[in-house]
Structure formats: C-alpha cells, structure tokens
C-alpha cells in the first residue's frame, strides 16, 4: 500500500483513542524531561566539583621530591664493593628543593606546542604568629599574571585584588579561613616566622577562598619576589614549575618525558587526583541509569497501550486485511503509531527538560564554601538532548514492535467468523 495511506490510517487510529495516546506521550515526555534535567544538573555538579580541584591543580607539576640518597656512603667504600649492605632508618640527605636551571626549563616548556602555559612557584613553610600561638601555614610564591591566566586565581579572591601582590611591597593574600583564625582584616599586618627563625611582617591585601576549608586554613599567596626575600634566596630560586596542557589526557605521558629530560620529579593530574575522576564517573553513571530507567518504564506504558489498542481494533485489522492490506502494512501502521508517540513525547520532553534545566540554573545557591557560585550548576551539553531523543525513539520502536508483529499475524477469517 502507499505510505501516505498507511500514515493516514495510523493517524486516524491515534486520534480515535487520543486519551490513551496522550497518556503514552506524557509518559515519554516525563521520562525525557527528567533524563535531560537530571543529567544536565549532575553533569554541571561534576564540572563544579572537578573545577574546585582542576582549576587550581596543574596538569603536570615539576619539583624535587624529598627522599633518602640512592647511594649511601658505605656503598662507595672499596672494601664493601661486592657486598650488599643493609641500612636501617635511612634519613633524607640535603636534598636540593630548588629546581636547577629553572629559567631555561621554563623557556623550553613555553615553546612546546603541547603546553598551554607555565607558572613558576615557590612553596615556603612558615608559622603565622598569633600572640603566643604559632599557626602552621604555607606561603605560595606565585607569578600573578600566570596564576590568573592558567589557574583562574581571580575567581577565588573574595576581598582585595590579586594585582596588589605586584604593586604593594611585602604583601600577602590569606586564605579566608586562615584570616579568620588570625582575625586579620584587609590592610592589617601579620607577622610570620620562617623555618630558620627569621621574622617578617607582611601586609594583608586580600582573602582567598577555594571552597576547600582545610586548604584555606593553611594557604596564603605572595609574589615570587616577596617569597624569595622571605626565604633569603636569589631571584633564580624556584621550587615548583606548574604546567597546563592543551590536552589534559596527555599529562601522564608528558610528565614522564619532562621528568626524564629535566632530571626532576614530575606528577601528573590523573595520578594526583584519581579519586575525583572516579567520583565524577560514578555520579554520571547513576544519572544515566536513572534516566534510562525512566525511559524504559515509559516504554512499557506504550507497549501496554498498543496491546490494548490491538485488542480493541481486532475488527478493524481484520477488515483491513480482508480488503488487501498485507501483514507488513498492518505492522507498519502500528510502528508508525509507536514512533509517532515517541517523536511527540520526545520532542516535548526535550523542550520541557531544557525549561526545567533553566529553572534549576536560576535557583539561588549561596554557600560560604563556594563564594563564586551563585546558582545551581547546569551543563547544557547538546549531547544529552541527542541521547534523549535517540533513546526515546529506540524505546518506543521496541515497545511497538511486538504489538505490531502480533497485529500483522491476525487471521481475518478467524476474527470475522467469530463475529
């Protein structure tokens, strides 16, 4: 039969039982709506949680790790040349924390096409003096321009300006939790003591809040020049080189390469933060599982409705087959009905899912731990909508296939004779 005729018949059957058709379409619409909204929200939440770490974590970190000497003095003594000395309670030697030849290394990395940017850093262990109490802390000496470009430093400044570190001598930005411990306001002066006993006074020019409270209780930031002065080191002193890549997936391989070439320890972001990737994967898996379950439930609703429609339309199907419609034609009619429900319900579900996502995205969300987040996070990834409509059509097709196959095998003689 002509496709247009089969389509018209399918349309007539749909409209004849429009209430049942609407219920089936609403089931698909609800499934798609919740699938889109849930996946968009969970993906946005993953991006937010990962961003707390990834935004502030280099893809590759070059540094000199503290470890015992590989070759002890006794192994170099000729008398023990052929022996296997066993030494207990090994202590770390005078390990050079400074990265040797850091200037040329940074220049070479900046010329590497795989590297997005390089940020040199100095890590200084200090004590913040609060009356008679010494609070353990860390001062990170940073290149402010590189930090702002590569690690979104300004996004986490909740008071003051990062540029003040370059313009105001002996200045510091405190972690907000640390500032609260010290009761230090912007403009106040805090006193620190280095590990060598040197005392310095630094002016507070801002607060930093990463969203990780334990981190903010100990961390603070100063310019590289100020940190070098605190430690009494030269302008060439650098303890860490932090690297951002164009492709984060290249980090493990490049970390090994850089470590071997420059003779330093190298740590990639996947190794340093593997637990965050696992958490993101699990949350995404749960979202997909719940969304797909909703669509499958909607599919069973369509299957039941089409089964009931076939039972009620036995006479109509028998007459159609008696008039010359083949079993394939009848099967096509009911598949068109199922796919029609899927298209209508899926299309409406996409619009409703997008609308619900927008509503969630505009709900105020305020927490002291995440000062830069004002509303609930949503990820408007087009892939979610493509997956949603595709799965909608697949589900409704499979739900309609068995009833359509059943309708195509109806014997008109048996039906008419029974009447």
Domain boundaries, given as residue ranges, for the chain: 3-54+276-418, 60-75+92-271
| Residue position matching structure tokens 């400074």 | 98
Other Cβ atoms within 10 Å of 418 Cβ, number: 9
User: How far is Cα 292 from Cα 391, in angstroms, rounded to an integer?
Assistant: 8
For residue 280, give Cα distances in angstroms to 48, 142, 238, 258, 269. 10, 30, 34, 28, 15
User: How far is Cα 87 from Cα 327, in angstroms, rounded to an integer?
Assistant: 86
pTM: 0.64
> So what's the pLDDT on residue 70?
62
Is residue 95 classed as helix, strand or coil in its secondary structure?
Answer: coil
> So what's the pLDDT on residue 414?
62
> So what's the pLDDT on residue 35?
82
Is residue 60 classed as helix, strand or coil in its secondary structure?
Answer: strand
> So what's the pLDDT on residue 366?
72
Mean pLDDT by 10 residues, the chain (419 residues): 68 68 76 84 78 78 73 65 65 67 88 89 88 86 88 84 88 90 88 86 89 81 91 87 88 89 86 67 75 72 67 68 74 78 84 91 75 80 86 78 72 61
Q: Encoding tokens for residue 30?
A: 């609800």
| Residue position matching structure tokens 């590289």 | 224
Select from 309, 299, 310 the least CA-distant residue to 341: 299
> So what's the pLDDT on residue 172?
93
Q: At what angle do helices 3-16 and 18-54 cross, to 10 degrees?
A: 90
> So what's the pLDDT on residue 415?
60
């Amino acid at each position: 039969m002509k496709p247009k005729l089969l389509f018209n018949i399918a349309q007539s059957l749909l409209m004849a039982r429009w209430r049942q058709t609407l219920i089936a379409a609403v089931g698909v619409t609800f499934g798609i709506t919740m699938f889109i909204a849930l996946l968009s929200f969970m993906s946005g939440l993953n991006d937010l949680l990962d961003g707390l770490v990834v935004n502030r974590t280099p893809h590759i970190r070059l540094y000199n790790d503290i470890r015992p000497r590989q070759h002890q003095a006794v192994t170099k003594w000729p008398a023990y040349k052929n022996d296997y000395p066993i030494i207990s309670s090994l202590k770390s030697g005078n390990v050079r924390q400074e990265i040797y030849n850091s200037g040329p290394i940074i220049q070479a990395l900046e010329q590497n096409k795989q590297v997005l940017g390089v940020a040199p850093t100095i890590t200084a262990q200090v004590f913040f003096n609060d009356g008679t109490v010494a609070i353990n802390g860390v001062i990170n000496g940073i290149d402010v321009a590189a930090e702002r470009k590569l690690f979104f430093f300004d996004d986490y400044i909740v008071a003051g300006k990062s540029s003040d570190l370059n313009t105001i001598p002996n200045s510091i930005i405190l972690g907000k939790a640390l500032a609260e411990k010290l009761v230090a306001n912007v403009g106040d002066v805090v006193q620190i003591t280095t590990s060598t006993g040197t005392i310095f006074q630094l002016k507070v020019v801002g607060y930093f809040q990463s969203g990780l409270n334990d981190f903010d209780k100990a961390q603070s930031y100063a310019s590289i020049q100020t940190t070098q002065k605190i430690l009494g080191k030269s302008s060439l002193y650098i303890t860490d080189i932090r690297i951002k890549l164009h492709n984060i997936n290249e980090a493990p391989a490049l970390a090994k390469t850089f470590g071997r070439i420059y003779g330093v320890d190298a740590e990639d972001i996947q190794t340093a933060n593997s637990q965050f990737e696992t958490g993101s994967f699990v949350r995404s898996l749960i979202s997909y599982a719940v969304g797909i379950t909703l669509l499958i439930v909607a599919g069973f609703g369509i299957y039941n409705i089409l089964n009931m429609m076939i039972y009620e339309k036995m006479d109509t199907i028998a007459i159609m087959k008696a008039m010359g419609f083949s079993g394939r034609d009848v099967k096509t009619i009911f598949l068109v009905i199922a796919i029609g429900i899927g298209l209508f319900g899926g299309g409406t579900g996409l619009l409703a899912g997008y609308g619900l996502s927008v509503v969630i995205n505009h709900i105020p969300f305020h927490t002291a731990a995440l000062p830069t987040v004002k509303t609930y996070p949503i990820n408007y990834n087009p892939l979610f909508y493509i997956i949603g409509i595709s799965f909608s059509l697949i589900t409704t097709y499979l739900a309609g296939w068995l009833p359509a196959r059943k309708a195509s095998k109806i014997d008109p003689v048996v039906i008419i004779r029974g009447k």
